[in-house]
Structure 1
Amino acid sequence: MTALVLIDIQKGLEETSFYGTERNNLDAEKNCGKLLRSFRKKQWPIFHVKHNSTNIDSPLYPNKIGNDFRPEVRPLISEPVFEKSVNSAFIGTNLEHSLKVKGITDLVVAGLTIEHCISTSVRMASNLGFNVILVSDATAAFDKIGYDGNRYSAEVIFHSELANLKDEFATIKDTQTLIDELDKSF
């Protein structure tokens, strides 16, 4: 059985001044919404993950408006929400147990950001035995300053992460290809 896992699609990640000066793939949240609508239409399992930062200055700190889900992926009451305070969706939550109890073996993962919670969660999901599809255009990256003091663009970070995750930890697909494939199997 396949489930959709949406990770950290929260308003605070719009605040580029906190995370970096540049972000790629500005349609990531829109594509997450397309995936969500597709899974809802099929009545397939959906799991939401929310980051509660422990840094009081973070836009994702609990009780700040940035901690709220983006409107295009707001969970329904019937869709479970797992709250975490670290990068992995599996640490400090019962997500793994909830997936396994429902007999879920395959995960479609989307959300923000690829260099943090997406990469960590995809790696861990794979290590826990799940088959993972990471939706490339339903995630994004911010630029980073490296250990060497050089600035690495969001595009470089994004494509490096996809290359690192490809095949070993996940199959990489774009939103429309995945939706088309899921429609054929339904």
Structure 2
Amino acid sequence: MSLVADPLKQILSPLKMAQLHNNNSAILIVDMQYLDAHPEYGLIQIAKQHGIDTKYYEDRLKVAIKNIQLLLKACRENGLEVIYCTIESMTKDGRDRSKEHKKANLHASPNSKEGEVIEELRPMHDEMVFKKTCSGVFNGSNIDQKLRNLKIDNLIITGVLTNQCVDTAVRDAADRGYDVVLVTDACAAFHESLHQASVEILEGIYCCVESTKKVVDHIYQINR
């Protein structure tokens, strides 16, 4: 059941999934690192110290990881660009972090375990990893320039948190003219209501929202 009745969606034409060809499309995996996406590190440990129940998030992460693995396999086998972004400071003490990350006590020092992409989704070969110290990868890195150099028009976006860094990436990408596919079962938030609210607000205006299966099937079909 829809949480929000958005009148704009009655006016605008619905967004369809872009043609995800290997010469103009990439997958962007947002913050699937030890700091944000591993139960023994960072965000989950901070949440537990503050008495926050993390069971839903941890369960959702397991699903998202399996689905991102399927998406990675499809992209790699079909020649789509694979791109990551992670939270990582340039300084050991994190003084270059954004104010929001300082307030939230989010910090991964250079070359730290917390800054690494989790083992299950580790980058291969020369796949690019963009570092940021704020929610938005487009504001916090030169990813837009690199995507233009690669002639990327379409972005498949996955990762954490749905209602924070993923949401920001989708909005910023759409504002810059990319056609965005948000893979809803390859994302996670701390509560289902947060995840669902973000998806419903983004869908049809900033991106099209699809399942992992539909995106994977489309990639194989369009790149035969």
Q: Same fold (TM over 0.5)?
A: yes
> What residue in structure 1 maps to residue 192 of structure 2?
155
Q: Superposition pairs for residues 19-168 of structure 1, below 5 Å?
A: 19=47, 20-22=52-54, 23=57, 25-26=60-61, 27-52=63-88, 54=97, 55=102, 58=105, 60-62=107-109, 63-142=111-190, 154-168=191-205
Point out which structure has higher relative CO (alpha carbons under 8 A, 6+ apart): 2
* Aligned sequence identity (%): 25
Aligned partners of 2:29 and 2:157 also within 8 Å? yes
Aligned partners of 1:137 and 1:175 also within 8 Å? yes
Aligned partners of 2:158 and 2:166 also within 8 Å? yes
Q: TM-score scaled by structure 1?
A: 0.87
> What residue in structure 2 maps to residue 5 of structure 1?
28
Deviation at residue 77 of structure 1 after TM alignment: 3.3
Q: How many residues of Structure 1 are paired with residues of Structure 2 in the alignment?
A: 175
> What residue in structure 2 maps to residue 145 of structure 1?
none
Question: Residue 78 of structure 1: SS of its match in structure 2?
Answer: coil
Question: Residue 126 of structure 2: SS of its match in structure 1?
Answer: coil
Residue 203 of structure 2 corresponds to residue 175 of structure 1 = no
Q: TM-score scaled by structure 2?
A: 0.73
Q: Give the aligned residue type for 2:33.
A: Q
- Residue by residue over 1:127-176, the C-alpha shift from the partner in whole angstroms, topping out at 9 and shown as x without a partner, is 0000000000110001xxxxxxxxxxx01111001001101111001111
Gaps of 5+ in 1: 143-153
Gaps of 5+ in 2: 1-23, 90-96
Separation (CA, whole Å) in 1 of partners of 2:34 and 2:45:
13
- Residue by residue over 1:65-103, the C-alpha shift from the partner in whole angstroms, topping out at 9 and shown as x without a partner, is 222211121112311111000111111311101111111
> What residue in structure 1 maps to residue 20 of structure 2?
none
Deviation at residue 17 of structure 1 after TM alignment: 3.7
Deviation at residue 56 of structure 1 after TM alignment: 9.8
Separation (CA, whole Å) in 2 of partners of 1:170 and 1:129:
11
Deviation at residue 47 of structure 1 after TM alignment: 1.0
Aligned Cα RMSD in Å? 1.9
Separation (CA, whole Å) in 1 of partners of 2:27 and 2:193:
26
Separation (CA, whole Å) in 1 of partners of 2:114 and 2:106:
5
- Residue by residue over 1:27-59, the C-alpha shift from the partner in whole angstroms, topping out at 9 and shown as x without a partner, is 112211211111111121111111126349856
Question: Residue 161 of structure 1: SS of its match in structure 2?
Answer: helix
Deviates more, 1:71-80 or 1:98-107: 71-80
Separation (CA, whole Å) in 1 of partners of 2:72 and 2:120:
9
Q: Give the aligned residue type for 1:4.
A: I
> What residue in structure 2 maps to residue 18 of structure 1?
46
